[in-house]
Amino acid sequence: MARVKIDNYAYRDVPRLGFTGWLRWMWRQVTSMRVALILLILLALAAIPGSMLPQWPQAPSDTQAFIDANPFWGPLLDATGFLDVFGSAWFTAIYVLLFASLIGCIIPRVMVYWRELREPVSAAPSRLDRYEPVTEAADRDPREALEAARRELEGSGPLRWFTGYRVRIDERDSKRADAGAELAMSAHKGHVRELGNLVFHLSLVGILLAVAAGSLLTYRGQALIVEGDSFTNAVVAYDSYEAGALFSQDDLDPWILSLDQFDAQFGLDGNPLEFTAHGMLTEPGQEPREVEAQVNRPIQVDGAKIYLQGNGYAPRFTVTDSEGNVAFEGNVPFLPQDEVYTSTGVIKVPDVTDGEQLGFKATLLPTAVASETGPISVHPAPTNPEIYLQAYTGDLGLDDGVPQNVYQLDESQLSPVRGDDGNPLLVAMELGETVTLPDGLGTVTWESMPRFAAFDLRRDPSLPWLLAASIGALTGLAMSLFAQRRRVWLVVPLAPAGPDTTSGSDAVPTTVVTAAMWAPDHDTAARHQVERALAAATGRPAADPSPEDS
């Protein structure tokens, strides 16, 4: 019974955390270095699905196709945010917690570092015996000797605060019975190392802020321009477009880019040598100017960059119905499928005759040659271009209100057009040729074969800040890794030790300089620093450092 009372009494005396205590405990956990490292690893792991799985913001059609092809995993991954990783709640939670953890780690350390900088350098030890001191004699005044050593350790120039020592000189009574007053100099170096840690962590916060601002304020779009055509900077003109939550399409500057010519140079083996897009850029209120875009040499416009991302051929076709009326006329971009620009394209003709819709699947061979397996292209240049055309009739699905891929043909409601032999029609066409389709479906004419250029426009105002923060992180890391913690002490008795009789009859009183240092075991260059300080104090030339001390 007494034991129960003791236990109850002890239990009653245990302090309760309470609401504020729990908040303080959680904050300490979040701001601990262990949790910061865990969150950093989680952030890296969370970004992996974003690069491996199709994402809604970048590729909606691919994402929907992935869901359709995986009836179990597709909806599950979509519901849990893995198909929009960087916009999911759990990724945002990791991001915000990491941000809070870094802020919580940095603020206390900045305050501690600021207090350490304002505090004076600690005095030299009363005895240097434990630090393996080195003693030399100098024929000069004690104060002059220490002042020379001070100038050597403090350094000079604009970088002295980073490379030099913080120095303190005290006049004190010696602990030795046979000595009187002495001057003791204490020099510390290592504040730059902690500064590097702070710069690194502050730069990490800057990187997080820049990435967050970039995702909110940026926009990106892809557009395909055929030679002779132009592009106006508007949302409806982009083939694909995405923007941050804080960017409005009304902020788009309505400049116009026209593609006058696209030059593609290939070697004899078909390897690309150079791609150059020649165009004209017209910005509001300015005269048109000639521009060029090459790989990794974008066009600068409206605080954004227009990158040359791809190229190919865009044959021009004219399709007429049975009465000779033009049902379709225009350029059709063909997407390259290999290094020799074997390309595929789709032609969709909504109305030909009696409401019948017509579709074509085509394959372009820029330099066509015969082979055992059939015609192939052997070079990307248009030396002997041929197009192989397949025709379909039926419902293209254009009136269903469902967006379609312009480079694919939905054959679910189409029937192939058949030739006289009853087999699906496959027509080989040469440039400038007109083909008459069976069953009175009209004609197809291959008019010309201009090129197209695919451009990727990116505007991210956070990039300069992201670059500055990245440079700061590397600088801080270098300071943290290479800056050394050292302590150097020099002690000089104020009373001379007596005349030095070894130098002849003109002997003068000798000042004895005792030096010692503390440094990590791997810092072999610290010994050379003590050597230079002693040389400055005694007035003799400093010895060159040995290879292991450099």
Residue 292 lies in a domain: yes
Residue 415 lies in a domain: yes
Residue 397 lies in a domain: yes
Q: Give the end of a domain, one of 116, 142, 160.
A: 116
What count of other Cβ atoms lies within 10 Å of the Cβ of residue 185?
A: 27
Residue 253 lies in a domain: yes
* 251: containing domain: 213-313+455-468
- Same domain as 409, residue 356: yes
- Same domain as 264, residue 293: yes
Helix (H, G, I), strand (E, B) or coil at 186: strand
Each residue's pLDDT, cut to its tens digit, for the chain (550 residues) gives 444 444 555 555 656 778 888 888 888 888 887 888 899 899 999 999 988 999 887 777 788 889 989 999 999 999 999 999 988 999 999 988 988 888 888 888 899 899 988 888 999 998 898 898 999 998 888 999 999 999 999 988 787 878 889 999 999 988 765 667 899 999 999 888 889 999 999 999 999 899 889 888 999 899 999 999 999 999 999 988 888 888 988 889 899 999 999 999 999 999 999 999 999 999 998 999 999 999 999 999 988 999 999 999 999 999 998 888 999 999 999 999 999 999 999 999 987 666 678 999 999 999 999 999 899 999 999 999 999 999 999 888 777 666 677 888 988 889 999 988 889 999 999 999 999 999 888 999 999 999 999 999 999 999 999 999 999 999 999 999 888 889 999 999 987 555 554 444 455 557 899 999 999 888 888 888 899 999 999 988 876 655 444 4
What count of other Cβ atoms lies within 10 Å of the Cβ of residue 202?
A: 18
Residue 28 lies in a domain: yes
- Same domain as 359, residue 305: no
Nearest of 125, 129, 144, 139 to residue 184 by alpha carbon:
125
Q: Where are the beta strands (DSSP E) in 486-530?
A: 486-493, 511-518
- Same domain as 409, residue 320: yes
- Same domain as 60, residue 34: yes
- Same domain as 400, residue 358: yes
Cβ-based neighbours of 520, under 8 Å, separated by 6 or more: 484, 485
Total structural domains in the chain?
A: 4
pLDDT at 486: 92
Structure tokens at 134: 């080195």
Nearest of 341, 348, 351, 364 to residue 448 by alpha carbon:
364
Q: Give the end of a domain, one of 401, 436, 468.
A: 468
Reported pTM: 0.71
Residue 4 lies in a domain: no
Residue 473 lies in a domain: no
CA 199 to CA 193: how far, in whole Å?
A: 10
- Same domain as 76, residue 27: yes
- Same domain as 329, residue 409: yes
pLDDT at 443: 94
- Same domain as 309, residue 259: yes
- Same domain as 372, residue 428: yes
- Same domain as 415, residue 322: yes
CA 55 to CA 82: how far, in whole Å?
A: 8
What count of other Cβ atoms lies within 10 Å of the Cβ of residue 265?
A: 10
Contact of 319 with 326, CB cutoff 8 Å = yes
- Same domain as 434, residue 332: yes
Residue 204 lies in a domain: no
